[in-house]
């Protein structure tokens, strides 16, 4: 059989190339980018959560966040009545946040590179857990020492409708559906854009169950 004919058959295979959707000048959704990493990612996540279980936190205004949080890496993002900040220790255990697993770091760096951000060195990974009904209101990520580094966000489990706004809370938001395995990278001129997550719809994910888990990699300090 001629090679050209073979090529025609080869084209019948589904293309596994992850798609890159541009949602801002320097903001990209890498569709399915995390899928090949899952086999290593999920056991590493279990290890982190054994040392620093999910817990709900209170905002400075006294409201309990609907998403439950954990962290790993040198710095963990926390909130309580005294404000938002990064801490070296988990306030619940008094111990340092768990180390960032190597596979977390490798995935975050590979995604940043794919979106055009070289040399991303995250020192913090916030892990958010959403059950159906949980949401995150529009906000900016402003607690980091510098805004020079991008942010990498990995979505797992139930789908979410992500809100990608402008530089003022009242600016119109675009809605970006995020699925299991999608990775979003924001940086540069888009780093301080408002964003949020609409309430997660009821459902059950075959691997993750009735939840959405999001990793947010940042350079905090």
Residues near ligand MD3 (CB under 6 A) are 126, 128, 136, 141, 151, 153, 186, 190-191, 193, 195, 197, 214, 216
Binding residues vs Fe ion (CB under 5 A) = 141
190, interface contact from ligand MD3, Fe ion, none, CB < 5-8 Å by kind? ligand MD3
The separation between the first and the last C-alpha atoms of the chain, rounded to the nearest angstrom, is 60
| Residue (of 11, 29, 121) closest to 74 by Cα position | 121
153, interface contact from Fe ion, ligand MD3, none, CB < 5-8 Å by kind? ligand MD3
For the chain, how long is the longest CA-to-CA vector?
72
Residue with Cβ nearer ligand MD3 (78 or 216): 216
Residue with Cβ nearer ligand MD3 (44 or 160): 160
Residue with Cβ nearer ligand MD3 (8 or 174): 174
Write the DSSP assignment of 27-65 as a string of letters: EEEETTTTGGGHHHHHHHHHHHHHHS--EEEE-TTSPEE
126, interface contact from Fe ion, ligand MD3, none, CB < 5-8 Å by kind? ligand MD3
Residue with Cβ nearer ligand MD3 (123 or 190): 190
**In the complex, minimum distance from the CB of residue 72 to Fe ion, in angstroms, rounded to a whole number:** 17
* CB within 8 Å of 78: residues ≥ 6 apart: 57, 69, 71, 84, 85, 86, 87, 91
User: Which tokens is 208 given?
Assistant: 């993750």
């Amino acid at each position: 059989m001629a090679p050209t004919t073979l090529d025609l058959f080869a084209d019948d295979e589904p293309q596994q190339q992850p798609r890159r959707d541009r949602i801002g000048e320097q903001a990209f959704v890498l569709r399915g980018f995390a899928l090949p990493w899952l086999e290593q990612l999920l056991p590493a996540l279990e290890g982190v959560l054994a040392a620093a279980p999910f817990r709900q936190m209170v905002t400075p205004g006294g409201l309990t966040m609907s998403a439950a949080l954990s962290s790993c890496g040198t710095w963990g993002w926390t909130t309580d009545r005294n404000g938002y900040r990064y801490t070296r220790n988990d306030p619940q255990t008094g111990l340092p946040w768990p180390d960032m697993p190597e596979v977390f770091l490798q995935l975050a760096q590979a995604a940043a590179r794919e979106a055009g951000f070289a040399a991303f060195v995250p020192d913090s990974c916030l892990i958010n857990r959403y059950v159906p009904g949980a949401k995150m209101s529009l906000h900016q990520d402003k607690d980091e020492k510098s805004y020079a580094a991008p942010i990498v966000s990995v979505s797992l489990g139930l789908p979410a409708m992500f809100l990608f706004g402008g530089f003022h809370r009242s600016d119109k938001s675009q809605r970006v559906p995020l699925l299991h395995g999608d990775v979003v990278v924001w940086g540069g001129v888009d780093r301080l854009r408002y964003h949020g997550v609409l309430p997660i719809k009821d459902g059950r994910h075959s691997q993750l169950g009735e939840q959405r888990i999001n990793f947010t990699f940042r350079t905090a300090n």
